[in-house]
A and B are shown apart, each in its own frame.
Chain A
Amino acid sequence: MKSRSWTIVRYTVAVAVLLVWTFPLLWTVLTSFKTPSEVFTYPPHFFFHPTLENYRQALVGYSSIVPNLGISAVIATSTTVLTMLISIPAAYALARRRFRGRYAVGLYVLTTQMLPPIGLIIPYFLIFNRIGWSDTYQALIAIYLTFAIPFAIWLMISFFEDVPLEMEEAAYLDRCGRFRTLWHVILPQVRGGIMVTLLFVFMSSWNEFLFAIVIGGSHIRTVTAAMYNFISVEQTLWGPLTAAACITMLPVVIVGMLAQKHIVSGLSLGAVKGGGRTR
């Protein structure tokens, strides 16, 4: 009897937590379909006549976020590609090779990953102003690499460590060179890990905000910065703002849900092994 009521308690708590985790998101989606007067209705309504007006405002007209979506896509994609090209070989070396200074390099990657972004944005702001890079694509991509590379290396290390050693040994016995072994034998084994890392890097670049407003902002305005299109001193346009938020979150949520299993394993793997700062 006791165990049965305990089960009921467990389910109740699980449902409550589920609500707490999903409600803010659901409420945002609901608000994005509300008319301005409906937004301010009190007590809040769950049922109302939905309108698409907010989405029209967010997508068409002078405060449209479509250009910003494009800018964010370019920056996040470039960051991801560069990060993967640089990080995969480094992670492999750190995970699988024995060399002097391995511990030191590992520690270096780790401390680089921990730096609070505010410590980087101040020097970057000064440097980019001096060399005329502020408000450019390359500036934002460069600064995004600062968090993406150490993060990707640390995550990839745990995936490389999972590849059985015998595979490499067999390849070497077959007189397969180091590069060919890495390319043909090892990389196919960590395809899943590469996907997870890629996703995380893309998401964190897509979601980034601090660097985006200080370094970019007027010309190169990422979609997170563009949220502020709808906020001014006089008023905030909650409807279009939530619509823009929904549009911005949509790709991340879709990808996140599709890759749900990989994300969970990536998070716990990275975390369990000591890497992985998600932001």
Chain B
Amino acid sequence: MIVRAAAPAGLARVRPSRALSEGRFVALLLSPAVLVMFAFTTLPVIYLVWTSLHTLNPAEPYANGFVGASNFVALASDPRFWNALRLTGIYTVSTVILQLVIGLGLALLVTNLGRAAGVLRIAAILPMILAPVVVGLIWRTLLLTPQYGVVDFIGLSLGLGSHNWLGNPTLALVSVIAMHTWQWTPFAFLVFVAALASLPRDPFEAAVIDRANAWQRFRYITLPLIRPAIVIVVILRTIVALCAFEAIFAVTGGGPGTATEILNLYAYNKSFIELSIGYGASIAVVLLAITLILALVLFRLRTARR
């Protein structure tokens, strides 16, 4: 089942016997979660916005104070910010497309492959359950290092030559994109396997009778039917890509230079390395705004297409 109806329409028909009113019951169930989320998430976000309107640097306390929107004005003419924004765009778009295409391709490929598909499904879990920081360290140390990394060795064996994968700006960006894709494509794969498994058979049988070829069957039957799964994968993976931090932190720390410094890392480096916390907060606010707007647009898209 891919498309499910929204929650069944309540239980208003059957009145429970207890005196406790429905409104109170719902309030009791919901209030702890809502209160905790408000106190632990919403309030800090408000405080973040407040901080972004200040100069706040523990190393230079004499300059601290309310500065209005000047952090944001400074951002607009900060080349490192625009670079980070551009990298965030490249990173997000490329990882999402790669996960989508590879995940769907792979899921199509292994349908009806029996046991092999089962083995692959189990293996798919492995990259996902590992700590991103550990994944970053593994990739950095064992796979990408020139002279003894395995990827370098394979590249050399294939005649591609030895490369300083994390030292060259372009290759470093390619490496972190490849890493993210490696870790999270399994997610898209598993979702698409589930989606394909739930497809009805009749339209395909009808299509075979109508002599539709494989591509036509995919394009006009499979694709429209799994559209909800595609949309949801795009939404979730976009959001996660926008949150990415730990693996890049472990593998390049944003470097070389600022070659892999996406907005998350820029905000982190500004706030906790250079201690310009107010300025770092303004970067985080921009990222937050982008994430929320994008998420709302994507979700609108989802409900519209249903």
Binding site for B on A (CB under 8 A): 10-11, 13-15, 17-18, 20-25, 27-28, 31, 39-44, 85-87, 89-90, 92-99, 105, 108-112, 114-127, 142-143, 145-146, 149-150, 153, 157, 161, 165, 168-169, 172-173, 175-179, 181, 203, 206-210, 214, 224, 227, 231, 236, 238, 241-242, 245, 248-249, 252-253, 256-257, 260, 263-265, 267-268, 271-274, 276-279
Contacts and interface: CB of A to CB of B under 8 A. Distances in A.
Interface string B115-128: 01101111111111
A206 to B, nearest CB: 7
B148 A264 contact: no
- By Cβ-Cβ distance, the 8 closest A-B pairs, closest first, are A98-B10, A207-B131, A90-B33, A268-B194, A177-B18, A89-B29, A123-B44, A93-B29
A256 B122 CA distance: 9
Contact of A41 (B148, B249, B250, B263): B148
A176 B18 CA distance: 8
A8 B110 CA distance: 11
A127 B20 contact: no
A192 B236 CA distance: 23
Contacts, number: 324
B135, B272, B284 — most chain A CB neighbours (10 Å): B284
Contacts of A208: 131
B131 A117 contact: no
Given A17-B106, A271-B187, A176 B131 contact: no
Contact of B41 (A39, A89, A146): A146
Interface string B232-247: 1101100110110110
B15 interface: yes
Contacts of A231: 137
Q: Chain B's interface: helix, strand, loop or mixed, by majority?
A: helix
B236 A271 contact: yes
B291 A17 contact: no
Query: On chain B, which size bracket covers the interface?
Result: 35 or more
A34 to B, nearest CB: 10
A95 B20 CA distance: 19
Contacts of A98: 9-12
Nearest to B121: A264
Contact of A181 (B16, B47, B150, B296): B16
B239 A277 contact: yes
B17 A260 contact: no
Contact of B33 (A20, A89, A126, A257): A89
Contacts of A44: 148, 150, 153
B44, B121, B288 — most chain A CB neighbours (10 Å): B44
B284 A119 contact: yes
B239 A114 contact: yes
B291 A245 contact: no
Contacts of B91: none
B26 interface: yes
Interface string B252-279: 0000000000011001100110000100
B142 to A, nearest CB: 5
B212 interface: no
A114 B280 contact: no
B37 A109 contact: yes
Interface in B98-146: 106, 109-110, 113, 116-117, 119-135, 137-139, 141-143
Contacts of B106: 13, 17
Nearest to B135: A24
Nearest to A15: B116
